[in-house]
Amino acid sequence: MRLKLFVILIGAGLTACSSFSPKTWESNTIPIDYTLAEMETLETEISPYRDTLNLSMNVVIGQSGENMIKNRPCSALNNWIADALLNDQDSLSKILKPNMVLLNMGSIRSSINQGGVTLGDIYTLMPFDNEVVWVKLPISVLKDIEDYIRASGGEPIANAVFNKSGLSLLGEQEQTDVFWVLTSDYLLNGGDRMTFFEQKLEVLYTGRLLRDSFIDEVKKQGNLKIDKNCRIDVTQ
Amino acid sequence: MLRSRRKFLNEAIYLSGGVVMVKPFFNSLLADKNEKKLTILHTNDTHSRIDPFPLNDAKYPGLGGVVRRATAISNIRSQEENILLLDAGDIFQGTPYFNRYGGVLEMKLMTELGYDAATMGNHDFDAGIKGFLNAKKYADFPFLCANYDFTNTELAGKTKSSQVFTKNGIKIGVFGVGVELDGLVSKSKFEDTVYLDPIAIAQQEVNNLKKKKCDLIICLSHLGFDYEDKTRASDINLAKNTQGIHLIIGGHTHTFLSEPLVVKNSSGENVLINQVGWAGLQLGRVDFTFGKRIFTKHEIVHI
């Protein structure tokens, strides 16, 4: 237990016509952990909701050999979600090839933990009902994405690499003046201030949830493929 | 357990061009006889984390959980008489509970825990305005949103900008401010909600609460603790650029502060800023003692 005593001054502005004044304060941050007993009355209230959810959400759909935690500039989890989208078979992937995948750190909401991966884990990883979208951009926007990633310190990407010379696409490009980015409708619409998407030339909506891409990819892989190679080096 | 203790004293003297101005102040010796205590408990960004994290979680194995939070709160309620329980937003989104039940269980449980007020975070718009209203039906506490103008939405008249609570004779004014929604939430979700400058609005709210003779002013903020872009509205900016707030309970940036940060406001007075991470991993607690103010008029003294 840490106990400190400080003296601080508060201003004269408080004197305006009130009758009490805060004189001292102290703070105490309480960790919520197993040492606290569980109140039965509340348990009873939650359990019908939990039981119904668990029927569908506790289904194990794959296995992870390691813990994967999101991180900047890069992490195995960042790679995994971007690759999942790259490998996804949506209605358009038969006729089009994405030149890169760009997602955002903010949309990864939890870790993938070592052991069985449940449907609920993927809902918790990606709780948002965001849709997979294909966005055609002029090649000049690649520089805007590079600036964005440099400023943010890292975002999940696939089929592209960010090294000392900046951001570049890895696959073959059929056209050199435009490129297709697979992303989410949230980011397309300016989410996380990715305003460069305003320069879009064309948008194709898949009607497919990002989360469903991840769920299908877990099922397809069985044992999750873990790629620890760092795709982003923002140091200059 | 982290504990810290601070002493609030009235600023009695300041120097100005060689003249010592003595301002009215309360005599702290007399004040001790009338000391009153108030306990503020708070959460932020609980994100539908009803259950504890799984035991195999890579970051927070087995931590959190509403049922345990209820115990922590109940333990404090058995020891303290004057408690306010507050939340700084982002109650929704993060586990299948929200996907499946749309935030209804979150609101029911917060009501059960006895929350006195909350503000709306950006994720509280994730089910759309209709979705929020549907869940809010189960909330028996007000949502305080001073800088969202909901006039042209279904939320009109369903939230308040501030609320005054009286605990053992102490008047506490609480108001709420939220983050800019454009770029964070899709327009289809927040509809015709108009975002107003949180700092200007905060000062207005403080002025109104002062007129209502509040002894303590608390801001529930979902602006975020601090940003590299210093022009962006944040709790730090809010504290520095207003006058009259005593405590900011923050959220949005999921910042774990081991104890409140003390920042000087525009008049050089202290403002406390606190935030307890996210996911209900912690419960914040700030206790204030209050003294009855005895006004003493002093003359300007030349030295």
Residue A96's pLDDT band (cuts 50, 70, 90): confident
Share of chain B above pLDDT 70, in %: 85
Q: How many domains does chain B have?
A: 1
The overall average pLDDT reported for chain B is 88
Tell me whether strands B162-167 and B148-149 are parallel, antiparallel or unpaired.
Answer: unpaired
Among candidates A12, A26, A123 on the partner chain, residue whose Cβ is nearest the Cβ of B11: A12
Spatial separation of the C-alpha atoms in residues B227 and B206, rounded to whole Å: 24
Q: What is the pLDDT of residue A29?
A: 96
Share of chain A above pLDDT 70, in %: 92
Share of chain B above pLDDT 90, in %: 81
Backbone angles phi, psi at B142, to 5 degrees: -80, 150
pLDDT of B21 over the 50 cut: no
A residues 120-139 closer than 8 Å to B (CB):
120, 123-124, 127-129
Q: Which amino acid is at B41?
A: L
Would you call B260 an interface residue with chain A, using a CB distance cutoff of 8 Å?
A: yes
DSSP string across chain A: -B--EEEEEE-GGGGSS-SEEEEEEEEEEEE-STTSPPPHHHHHHHHHHHHHHHHHHT-EEEEESS-B---SS--HHHHHHHHHHHH---TTTTT---SEEE--GGG--SPBPSEEEEHHHHHHHS-S-PEEEEEEEETTHHHHHHHHHHHHT---EESEEEETTEEEE-S--S-SSEEEEEEEHHHHTTGGG-GGGGG-SEEEEEEEEHHHHHHHHHHHHSBPP------B----
Would you call A198 an interface residue with chain B, using a CB distance cutoff of 8 Å?
A: no
Among candidates B184, B215, B280 on the partner chain, residue whose Cβ is nearest the Cβ of A20: B215
Torsion sign, CA atoms A14, A19, A23, A29:
negative
Would you call B3 an interface residue with chain A, using a CB distance cutoff of 8 Å?
A: yes
CB contact (8 A) between residue A129 and residue B5: no
Count of Cβ atoms closer than 10 Å to residue A40 Cβ = 9
B8 inside domain: no
> B188-199: per-residue pLDDT in tens?
999 999 999 999
Would you call B164 an interface residue with chain A, using a CB distance cutoff of 8 Å?
A: no
CB contact (8 A) between residue B105 and residue A49: yes
Chain B residue nearest residue A151, CA to CA? B228
Among candidates B96, B100, B183 on the partner chain, residue whose Cβ is nearest the Cβ of A190: B183
pLDDT (mean) for B114-123: 98
B203 inside domain: yes
B159 inside domain: yes
pLDDT of B27 over the 70 cut: no
Would you call A53 an interface residue with chain B, using a CB distance cutoff of 8 Å?
A: yes
Would you call A47 an interface residue with chain B, using a CB distance cutoff of 8 Å?
A: no
CB contact (8 A) between residue A11 and residue B269: yes
Task: Say yes or no: domain A52-221 is CATH 3.90.780.10.
Answer: yes
> Position of tokens 């039940």?
B101
Would you call A193 an interface residue with chain B, using a CB distance cutoff of 8 Å?
A: yes
Q: What is the pLDDT of residue B8?
A: 46
Chain A residue nearest residue B267, CA to CA? A11
B66-77 and A40-57 helices, crossing angle to 10°? 170
pLDDT (mean) for B140-155: 98
pLDDT of B120 over the 80 cut: yes
CB contact (8 A) between residue A39 and residue B244: no
Closest by CA position to B134, among listed B104, B155, B154, B159: B104
Among candidates A21, A113, A186 on the partner chain, residue whose Cβ is nearest the Cβ of B290: A21
Among candidates B36, B96, B260 on the partner chain, residue whose Cβ is nearest the Cβ of A120: B96
CB contact (8 A) between residue A29 and residue B26: no
B106 inside domain: yes
Ranges A86-90, A97-101, A116-120, B75-79: which has the least confidence: A86-90
Among candidates A21, A52, A191 on the partner chain, residue whose Cβ is nearest the Cβ of B293: A21
Would you call A48 an interface residue with chain B, using a CB distance cutoff of 8 Å?
A: no
Would you call A26 an interface residue with chain B, using a CB distance cutoff of 8 Å?
A: yes
Among candidates A11, A23, A113 on the partner chain, residue whose Cβ is nearest the Cβ of B268: A11
Would you call B55 an interface residue with chain A, using a CB distance cutoff of 8 Å?
A: no
Distance from CA of B146 to the nearest CA of A (A): 22
Chain B residues with CB-CB distance to A129 below 8 A: 99
CATH number where B115 lies: 3.60.21.10
Residue B17's pLDDT band (cuts 50, 70, 90): very low
Spatial separation of the C-alpha atoms in residues B68 and B64, rounded to whole Å: 7
Q: What is the pLDDT of residue B225?
A: 98
Spatial separation of the C-alpha atoms in residues B205 and A72, rounded to whole Å: 39
pLDDT (mean) for B138-151: 98
- Boundaries of domain holding B86: 34-291
Residue A15's pLDDT band (cuts 50, 70, 90): very low
Q: Would you say B255 and B225 are in contact if contact means Cβ atoms under 8 Å apart?
A: yes
Chain A residues with CB-CB distance to B9 below 8 A: 7-10, 23
Q: What is the pLDDT of residue A9?
A: 37
Could you tell me which residues are beta bridge partners of residue B87? B43, B118
CB contact (8 A) between residue B48 and residue A127: yes
Instruction: Kindly list the distances between the CA atom of residue A8 and the CA atoms of A87, B11, B218, in Å, as whole numbers in the listed order.
Output: 58, 9, 18
pLDDT (mean) for A141-156: 97
Chain B residue nearest residue A129, CA to CA? B99
Cis peptide before A73 (omega within 30 of 0): yes
pLDDT of B34 over the 70 cut: no
Among candidates A23, A38, A193 on the partner chain, residue whose Cβ is nearest the Cβ of B28: A23
All residues at 6 or more sequence positions from B11 whose CB lies less than 8 Å from its CB, including other chains:
A9, A10, A11, A12, B23, B25, B268, B269
Chain A residue nearest residue B270, CA to CA? A10
Q: What is the pLDDT of residue B9?
A: 37
pLDDT (mean) for B241-257: 97
pLDDT of B81 over the 60 cut: yes
Residue A131's pLDDT band (cuts 50, 70, 90): very high
Q: What is the pLDDT of residue B293?
A: 62
Would you call A18 an interface residue with chain B, using a CB distance cutoff of 8 Å?
A: yes
CB contact (8 A) between residue A39 and residue B74: yes
B80 inside domain: yes
Q: What is the pLDDT of residue A3?
A: 36
> A47-74: per-residue pLDDT in tens?
999 999 999 999 999 999 999 999 999 9
Considering the entire predicted model, what is its pTM?
0.87
SS3 of chain B = CEEEEEEEEECCEEEECCEEEECCECCHHHHHHHCEEEEEEEECCCCCCCCCCCCCCCCCCCCCCHHHHHHHHHHHHCCCCCEEEEECCCCCCCCHHHHHHCCHHHHHHHHHHCCCEECCCHHHHCCHHHHHHHHHCCCCCCEECCCEECCCCCCCCCCECEEEEEECCEEEEEEEECCCCECCECHHHHCCCEECCHHHHHHHHHHHHHHCCCCEEEEEECCCCCCCCCCCCCHHHHHHCCCCCCEEECCCCCCECCCCEEEECCCCCEEEEECECCCCCEEEEEEEEEEECCCECCCCEEC
Q: What is the pLDDT of residue A114?
A: 96
